[in-house]
Structure 1
Amino acid sequence: MAATEGKKKIIKLKSSDGKEFEVEQAVAMESQMIWHMIEDDYTDDGLLLRNVNSKILSKVIEYCNKHVQAKAADTSDFIGGARPLGATSAVPAAPAEDLKNWDANFVKVDTATIFDLALV
C-alpha cells in the first residue's frame, strides 16, 4: 500500500500549497484526521490535505514526530520494549516533564495557528 523504507512504511502528505512531506506511517497516524484519511483513501501517490498549508503541516509533523519518539522512549526502558506486569508508567518523571514543557512551548503561537493545528 504505502512505500516502505526498511521495515518502516513511508506516507506521502501533500499540503494545500503543493509541498510534499514524506513521513513514517507511525508519525502520520498520530493525527486522527490523517489516520482516518490513510485508512479510507491512501494511495501511493499520497494524501492531499486540501485545507492544510505547508506551514501548519510541518508543525503537525513536528508535533507527531516528537510524540512518537516519546512513546518509543517510554517502552525502550524495558527489555524488548515490554512493560512488566503491574507497571503503571514507564516514563520517568524527567522525560514526562520534558515532553509536557515541550508541548507548552509548542503551542505558544497565535490563535489562528492554534485553530489550524487543532483541525489537523
Structure 2
Amino acid sequence: MASSSSTKKITLKSSDSVTFEIEEVVFQSIKNLTDDVADDIEILVPRITGKILAKVIEYCKKHVEAASSYEKLFDDKLNKWYTEFVEVDNVTLFNLIWAASILDLSIKTLADMIKDKKPEDIGKIFNIINAYRPE
C-alpha cells in the first residue's frame, strides 16, 4: 500500500471559491467537470458550487474505495449507501444531475420519485403550475 505522503493531491476550486484537496485517483473520476486538467496547482470547476462539488467528491471517493476494496459496485451495502446519498432536496438532486458526474444515480432517483405518480403529483414535484390541460 502506498503511503499517503506519496499520493499526488489535486486542489479543486468551485465556482463559489470553495477549495477541496483530493487524491489524484479520485480526481480521475470527476475530471470531466473541469475545463482544463493540466498540472495546475488549483483547478477551477466552473458552474459547480462548493456544496455540489463536495457531494460529487464524496460520491467519487466512495466509488474509488469500493473499486479498490474489490466490493461489488452494486452489492446491498453499497446500494444502501447510494440510496442514502441521494436523499436530498430537489434542488440539490437537480444540481447533481446537472453536474453529470453522478448522472445515472441521480436520474434513477428522479425516475423513482415520479414512478406511478399522477400528472398533477409530478407537477408538484417539479413546481409546475397548470401544465396539464384537458383540452
Question: Superposition RMSD on alpha carbons, in Å?
Answer: 2.3
Which protein shows a greater Rg?
2
Matches within 5 A, 1:1-120: 6-31=5-30, 33-34=32-33, 37=34, 40-74=36-70, 91=71, 96-120=75-99
CA contact (8 A) 2:26 2:61 kept: yes
Relative contact order (C-alpha < 8 Å, sep 6+): which is higher?
A: 1
Q: Which structure 2 segments of 5+ residues have no match?
A: 100-135
- Tell me: CA distance 1:57–1:92, structure 2 relative to 1, closer, same or farther (3 Å): closer
TM-score w.r.t. length of structure 1: 0.68
TM-score (norm 2): 0.61
In the alignment of these two chains, the number of paired residues is 96
5+ unaligned residues in a row in structure 1: which ranges? 75-90
Cα deviation, 1:98-118, whole Å, max 9, x if unaligned, reads 111100110111222112112
Aligned CA distance change for structure 1 residues 92 and 69 (closer, same or farther; 3 Å)? closer
In 1, the alpha carbon distance for the partners of 2:72 and 2:53 equals: 30
Q: As a proportion of its length, which structure holds more strand?
A: 1
